[in-house]
Amino acid sequence: MSYTASVVGGSGFTGGELLRVLSGHPEFEVVQATSRSRTNKTVGHAHPNLRHLDLRFSDPEDLESVDVLFAATPHGVSMGEIDRFREAATTVVDLSADFRLDSEAGYEEWYDGHERPELLAESVYALPELNREALPGAELVAAGGCNATATILGLMPLVEEGVLTDDDRVVVDVKVGSSEGGAGGGEAAAHPERSGVVRPYAPTGHRHEAEIEQFLGLDVSFTVHAVDMTRGASATCHVFPGEPVSKGDLWGAYRGAYEAEPFVELVAGGGGVYRYPEPKAVAGTNRAEVGFELDPSNGRVVCFAAIDNMLKGSAGQAVHAANLALGIEETAGLDFRGLHPVGAP
Amino acid sequence: MSYTASVVGGSGFTGGELLRVLSGHPEFEVVQATSRSRTNKTVGHAHPNLRHLDLRFSDPEDLESVDVLFAATPHGVSMGEIDRFREAATTVVDLSADFRLDSEAGYEEWYDGHERPELLAESVYALPELNREALPGAELVAAGGCNATATILGLMPLVEEGVLTDDDRVVVDVKVGSSEGGAGGGEAAAHPERSGVVRPYAPTGHRHEAEIEQFLGLDVSFTVHAVDMTRGASATCHVFPGEPVSKGDLWGAYRGAYEAEPFVELVAGGGGVYRYPEPKAVAGTNRAEVGFELDPSNGRVVCFAAIDNMLKGSAGQAVHAANLALGIEETAGLDFRGLHPVGAP
Amino acid sequence: MSYTASVVGGSGFTGGELLRVLSGHPEFEVVQATSRSRTNKTVGHAHPNLRHLDLRFSDPEDLESVDVLFAATPHGVSMGEIDRFREAATTVVDLSADFRLDSEAGYEEWYDGHERPELLAESVYALPELNREALPGAELVAAGGCNATATILGLMPLVEEGVLTDDDRVVVDVKVGSSEGGAGGGEAAAHPERSGVVRPYAPTGHRHEAEIEQFLGLDVSFTVHAVDMTRGASATCHVFPGEPVSKGDLWGAYRGAYEAEPFVELVAGGGGVYRYPEPKAVAGTNRAEVGFELDPSNGRVVCFAAIDNMLKGSAGQAVHAANLALGIEETAGLDFRGLHPVGAP
Amino acid sequence: MSYTASVVGGSGFTGGELLRVLSGHPEFEVVQATSRSRTNKTVGHAHPNLRHLDLRFSDPEDLESVDVLFAATPHGVSMGEIDRFREAATTVVDLSADFRLDSEAGYEEWYDGHERPELLAESVYALPELNREALPGAELVAAGGCNATATILGLMPLVEEGVLTDDDRVVVDVKVGSSEGGAGGGEAAAHPERSGVVRPYAPTGHRHEAEIEQFLGLDVSFTVHAVDMTRGASATCHVFPGEPVSKGDLWGAYRGAYEAEPFVELVAGGGGVYRYPEPKAVAGTNRAEVGFELDPSNGRVVCFAAIDNMLKGSAGQAVHAANLALGIEETAGLDFRGLHPVGAP
């Protein structure tokens, strides 16, 4: 194994996924996982799938020197700790929102004040399908938000092909699983309340709009519903092109954007039970399914992207970006293909 | 009990709900339930919650004379049987799509040819919130489609108040449960495949658009997703008003439309866990929860309506309409308020 | 309405079910619901299905005088408040474990010390199928534990008929829903952790054993698993009779015990999809389904009882007992029959 | 890659799992997958997680020559096709029940007549924890039944240590997911009916008893419930030892049996949310979690084993056995560790 890695915030959900992926990665050795609440407990105490790992959580105050530090801490933590992180590691991959936006003003509009605005220009957004060329050699990487990732993957080909311009009204309706709320949760996350919901948890004003706007140059009408699954994010985007488009145009746009992408699969109305992108079909993987349909009655394009919010939408994207940053084979450690059948993973 | 009733197609899901509601209704006596596949079996054989009923399915060829016949047969059956139905009963309430539309052309556009187009003008659409004044004395009533019902309830106040005109682009994203596919189902409805999905089952072209267009005068961009619940339909409507509206305008519009309605409750951003319409909060009931939110960034109105697809969206609506047609207290038999907590009902 | 009622601890799950049942009960008027954490909020704030009720939670320190006070407080509270409760109401129905056992020694073995042991002899266990004759006129009623209720209903006919004696080894495996953990819950109750489990949450030593032992005179080998539903308790009891029994003997025993019971239904291997007791078939109701099967290979009797843990296992049983205590028609307010199909309610 | 493999019956659930595992296996090249119903369709048509594979189902009549043929056909098929299978492949691994039992009489007791009884003595039961020494060089391997596998893994250490003898009464209560019913399913498997059940689907007489009896020498009292998950089997075994045992004895027995086993993990009452074996913690893996608890009140041992029914209980066990039969590293292709959190996989 060529690189050492640590995970700060290892007892949370995305921290656990980082540990799982990195411990099976051919090029990384995990040398530290921190957790304030579970210091000295085994990582299996938090994550039953990692009981075989001989690793205990350590205090986040004592960071070991590593090649790559992955920070899976709540929003607002990394910006305060970033100097310690960068002292401990050459490459820092942050999974929070702290370094995703490139302007202080944008950050202040959607979050609170930023403690280290000068780093916003330096940090590199992790999503390789959007940003591959910027990743090699990057030393501060910001993994994207899960809902933003799904939306960007669904809309990007239409923007790139000029089908969608900023004059168009785009409605995005994202359905997400309960892991998005993170470990802990409160009353609303308790199983009796959360089971079976179709809960409009962010009818308007979801912060991931900021990333979508920044990277696609679009103001989207964005709504997020919580539905009954644990992992998964599925974005349905309703687009009204200025000029009529054909199915062939759409195939061209999406194939052009994703044909060479190892983690994106086009699923657009073929046979079988799964005719469009489906989050449960990508659960546990770093894959995205992307697809589309054309509404002949009014020219609307409906496009879909389904991901695992904790992987392609967070920890998997982080490792993918780290692979690219370090020059490792980009799919390394991320080859799990998912299960069938699978219930509500 | 003042009226006799029969249920044709009593072994299906909405047939079972009709039997449940009517058998607890103070003014109806159920004298017949038919089922071709379960003739002579008890109704409890199909519906475990009705094991206490001393009633066996009879052959649909032998219809008894009743005051009201409820037809819960697949689309296309009622139009062929309608003369027999009307011979057997003074009032026929049909739960299929056969008599929902008012023009033959509309029917042909969305379905196949209609066998009895002359009845389309006579039949009365059941939804009382839309059509209360037309129901007293009606002899042929057509219960609405579940997804159409949710959408109409969500948008109607905006149309009535002129917030929404037919020049506006309206996106409707409906999430539905598996009972919508009816008893039987095929490979896609099997539990291992259907569990946990966020399946775009009708990205475009769903037939319920026809009802929405007919009653609201709107062309909506309509998409339906199947999510992991058994009963429930939740419509999220994205509306871009021509003129800016305020929260107060919206409260005025929705209160004006629904204040006097016994089965509609406004749920729009209050406290607690359930801040917007939630299908599981109305499961098992004839209630609709309706709510809205205003997107300050672009003036978009997001409105929501949640119903139980088998009740407010079908059997409950049918009984509600029959109550009004016959001059019975309109809430009779429909007073169940739903459960809390409840999982994915 | 003939009687006034109050619910102490009205914001919890069983408190909400009490409010729902009592507010639809022909003989009760709910005049007070208390909640320490939600004082002055509407009951709809906690229970979305009760948004229509014009009732706000009040401080539990200020109890109004009523005919019946239902206490839905955590274990250990009622015994300290019982004098206040009895001062406020002629009849007190307690849903906690505080007054279920009839001896101080039994209480101390399974719980902690009892503050008012002299009341244990006075209190009446609520389960009417076991205890109907003791309920009329009772002034202190203790609703049973949900898992105990299911188990007692499953085994009682075998004990009464002498099929099962205390020399026999009885294994009881109960599966329960997440509402059993109550509102709040902790990390283990959060949706991502709780979904989909088959969790042996009480492999041994569950306190409900005490009730089973007290009322059936049996030492059972008792194990409870948490499975993926919100409401429901299903007891599977494995019994090895000393003398061989036939199917006919079993039918005789169960019919004898339950034929006249309005809330118990025998479901033992008939046709259709639901051949044995099924908790989802009784969800939302005060009904119990009870059934059995005989293992020809070794004479084992497997008997089943399925209930809604919050109703027949708690709030419904409490109202049923109150009806009997006050001489009201025993099914009053409890006539909801449940839904079909229904998912995981 | 050293060996070629084919999967007969590749469009079913365990066929799909075989294809998934084998296509990621370092030593196998999948050269053929057959399906009668989907001939010429891509494997991704049946299994959305395998859309990347460039492989189409072929007609089962035309078998290619391979090193190992895996048969995932319904019970009763392999015994009729076995000569063709063995002609096509040196090693045949059968996932059906056809070759699990070692006597014709046993087969006839639990199934129907056997067409090729002379092969029963030759076939080798696949479960390596039970049968490792018999597998190297085996040419006809029978993968075990999922419920039998879970039960055998749970009880085997107690049998080996003499804690459990055939004079003891053993009750086994298994909870299983819907994939156990296979692709297709009927009315009872449809999502609206199957969701949320605690269905006693085999109260008595489940055929997997035959395997348990054969390999452990025990008559168990065996009951299987269907619960709401797609994949998973969890066996809870209630054992009453003739002589008292201590926790230390149990740890000794289970450690002795499984310490060296790469796919068995002991989970017996430690900290965290997952204190006992949990099927969702092993979903997607070939792992088994095994644990136990001691009931101090009556000396009962409650032991648990949780597996993924399609992997450790079928396809994973088959590949594990094939690895051993061919002398490949036994964990090859089976290193996926599972996910956390995960819902109801």
Question: What CATH number labels B146-307?
Answer: 3.30.360.10
Strand arrangement of the beta sheet that strand B66-71 belongs to: B57-58, B28-34, B3-8, B66-71, B89-94, B140-142, B124-125
Question: Is A183's CB within 8 Å of C194's CB?
Answer: no
Query: What residues does CATH 3.40.50.720 cover in chain B?
Result: 3-144+314-326
Mean per-residue pLDDT, C278-302: 96
Q: What 3-state DSSP class applies to C62?
A: coil
Report the gap between the CA of A337 and the closest CA in chain D (Å): 6
Confidence at residue D312, expressed as pLDDT on a 0 to 100 scale: 98
Tens of pLDDT, residue by residue, chain A (345 residues): 799 999 999 999 999 999 999 999 999 999 999 999 999 999 999 999 999 999 999 999 999 999 999 999 999 999 999 999 999 999 999 999 999 999 999 999 999 899 999 999 999 999 999 999 999 999 999 999 999 999 999 999 999 999 988 777 899 999 999 999 988 778 999 999 999 999 999 999 899 999 999 999 999 999 999 999 999 999 999 999 989 999 999 999 999 999 999 999 999 888 899 999 999 999 999 999 999 999 998 899 999 999 999 999 999 999 999 999 999 999 999 999 999 999 999
Query: What residues does CATH 3.40.50.720 cover in chain D?
Result: 3-143+314-326
Q: Are strands D89-94 and D66-71 parallel, antiparallel or unpaired?
A: parallel
Confidence at residue B5, expressed as pLDDT on a 0 to 100 scale: 98
Question: Is A190's CB within 8 Å of C196's CB?
Answer: no
* B196 touching chain D per CB within 8 A: yes
- CB-nearest partner of D343 from B13, B177, B196: B196
Question: Is A341's CB within 8 Å of D278's CB?
Answer: no
Strand arrangement of the beta sheet that strand D140-142 belongs to: D57-58, D28-34, D3-8, D66-71, D89-94, D140-142, D124-125
Query: What residues does CATH 3.40.50.720 cover in chain A?
Result: 3-144+313-326
* B51 touching chain C per CB within 8 A: yes
Question: Is D199's CB within 8 Å of C169's CB?
Answer: no
Judge whether C252 and C268 are in contact, CB under 8 Å: no
Q: pLDDT-derived band of residue C186, with 50, 70 and 90 as boundaries?
A: confident
Q: pLDDT-derived band of residue C140, with 50, 70 and 90 as boundaries?
A: very high
Interface probe with B: pick from A151, A170, A171, most Cβ of B within 10 Å: A171
Query: What residues does CATH 3.30.360.10 cover in chain B?
Result: 146-307
Judge whether C25 and C2 are in contact, CB under 8 Å: no
* A9 touching chain B per CB within 8 A: no
Residues of D with a catalytic annotation lie at: 146
- CB-nearest partner of B339 from C41, C45, C49: C49
- CB-nearest partner of A341 from D179, D278, D339: D179
Of all residues in chain B, the one with the smallest CA distance to A175 is: B198
Question: Is D343's CB within 8 Å of B13's CB?
Answer: no
Of all residues in chain D, the one with the smallest CA distance to B232 is: D192
| ipTM computed for the complex | 0.96
Q: What 3-state DSSP class applies to C237?
A: strand
Question: Is D179's CB within 8 Å of B187's CB?
Answer: no
pLDDT, tens digit (0-9, with 9 covering 90-100), for C208-250: 999 999 999 999 999 999 999 999 999 999 999 989 999 999 9
**Residues sharing a CB contact under 8 Å with residue A287, sequence separation 6 or more, in sequence order:** A263, A264, A265, A307, A308, A312, A337, A338
* D325 touching chain A per CB within 8 A: no
CA proximity to B242, closest of B169, B157, B173, B293: B169
Residues of A with a catalytic annotation lie at: 146
State the count of interchain CB pairs (< 8 A) between A and D: 123
Mean per-residue pLDDT, B71-99: 97
b/e map of D242-268 (b: 16 or more CB within 10 Å)? Answer: eeebeeebbeebbeebbeebbbbbbbb
CA proximity to A200, closest of B242, B223, B289: B289
Q: pLDDT-derived band of residue D117, with 50, 70 and 90 as boundaries?
A: very high
Write out the DSSP string of A50-73. GTT---BEE-TTSPPPEEEEEE-P
Say which of B46, B97, B127, B146 is annotated catalytic.
B146
Which is the CATH superfamily of the domain at C3-144+313-326?
Answer: NAD(P)-binding Rossmann-like Domain (3.40.50.720)
* B194 touching chain D per CB within 8 A: yes
pLDDT, tens digit (0-9, with 9 covering 90-100), for D278-336: 999 999 999 999 999 999 888 999 999 999 999 999 999 999 999 999 999 999 999 99
Q: Return the partners of chain C (3 or more C-beta pairs < 8 Å).
A: A, B, D
B303 catalytic residue (yes or no): no
pLDDT, tens digit (0-9, with 9 covering 90-100), for B168-198: 789 999 999 999 998 877 899 999 999 999 9
- CB-nearest partner of A49 from D270, D271, D281: D281
CATH topology assigned to domain B3-144+314-326:
Rossmann fold (3.40.50)
- CB-nearest partner of A342 from D52, D270, D345: D345
Secondary structure element (H or E) that encloses residue B18, with its range: helix B13-23
pTM comes to 0.97
* C205 touching chain D per CB within 8 A: yes
Question: Is B344's CB within 8 Å of A195's CB?
Answer: yes
pLDDT, tens digit (0-9, with 9 covering 90-100), for B212-262: 999 999 999 999 999 999 999 999 999 999 899 999 999 999 999 999 999
What residues of D are in contact with residue C295 (Cβ under 8 Å)? 203-205, 221
Residue written as tokens 């007070």? Answer: C32
Is the omega angle on the peptide bond into residue C136 within 30 degrees of 0, that is, cis? no
What residues of D are in contact with residue C236 (Cβ under 8 Å)? 173, 200, 223, 225
Question: What CATH number labels D3-143+314-326?
Answer: 3.40.50.720
Does the structure show a pLDDT above 90 at D82?
yes
Question: Is C304's CB within 8 Å of D196's CB?
Answer: no
Single-letter amino acid code for the residue at B74 = P
pLDDT, tens digit (0-9, with 9 covering 90-100), for C37-55: 999 999 999 999 999 999 9
Interface probe with A: pick from B178, B198, B236, most Cβ of A within 10 Å: B198
Confidence at residue D98, expressed as pLDDT on a 0 to 100 scale: 97
CA proximity to C95, closest of C206, C15, C177: C15
Q: What is the largest CA-CA distance in chain A?
A: 61
Confidence at residue A64, expressed as pLDDT on a 0 to 100 scale: 98
* C187 touching chain A per CB within 8 A: yes
Interface probe with C: pick from D146, D166, D198, most Cβ of C within 10 Å: D198
pLDDT, tens digit (0-9, with 9 covering 90-100), for D176-207: 999 999 887 789 999 999 999 999 999 998 99
Judge whether C42 and C49 are in contact, CB under 8 Å: no
* B48 touching chain C per CB within 8 A: yes
What residues of A are in contact with residue B200 (Cβ under 8 Å)? 236, 275-277, 293, 302, 304
Instruction: DSSP letter for C63, please.
Output: P
